[in-house]
Amino acid sequence: MFHHDAKHSAYSLFELLIFLTILIFLSLMSMQLPTHFSKHIPEQYLQKLAAIIQNAAALSQIQQREIIVCPKTDTKLCGHDWSQGILLIDKDKARVVLPPLIPGDHLTFTGFERSDRLIFRPDNHLRVNNGHFTYVTTKQQWALHISKLAETHLRQV
């Protein structure tokens, strides 16, 4: 039969303190992790958008036809809310190139002409003049400036 010694069946106060210290440390680290990643989401999203814009400009030159980048919508091809995701349209084929934003975040485009789409022409010019995207969260704001030649510049506002 097994013999239980009361001296060895419980944890010591020191062992419990070490366990609680590790548990508190891990819980604090896990609380900071989402905040750390969420700080970089607007910047990463706009960097991807800048790459899509430059690729769309190059694609329109190579294929010698217009390429459209516009906001995604569920009811029609191009919507008005850039926060719902972004489509790239080539020869009437649309594909989602960026997903919707995190709820509460907003993405807008401001240009001198239409603000619901970017149309890239084969002559490497946008149909809009200079414009910019603005990504707004509750804590920060980023802007992606676009020239008529599809050059981009990202900065925190």
Q: What is the pLDDT of residues 45-92, one digit of tens each?
A: 999 999 998 888 888 888 888 989 999 887 777 888 999 999 988 887
110, part of any domain:
yes
47, part of any domain:
yes
93, part of any domain:
yes
Neighbours of 148 (CB within 10 A): 15
Q: Which domain holds residue 137?
A: 40-156
Report residue 47 as tokens: 């960097």
Domain count, the chain: 1
Q: In Å, how far from its chain's centre is CA 65?
A: 28
Note if the pTM is more than 0.75. Answer: no
Contact by Cβ (8 Å): 95, 103: no
> Predicted confidence band at 116 (pLDDT cuts at 50, 70, 90)?
confident
4, part of any domain:
no
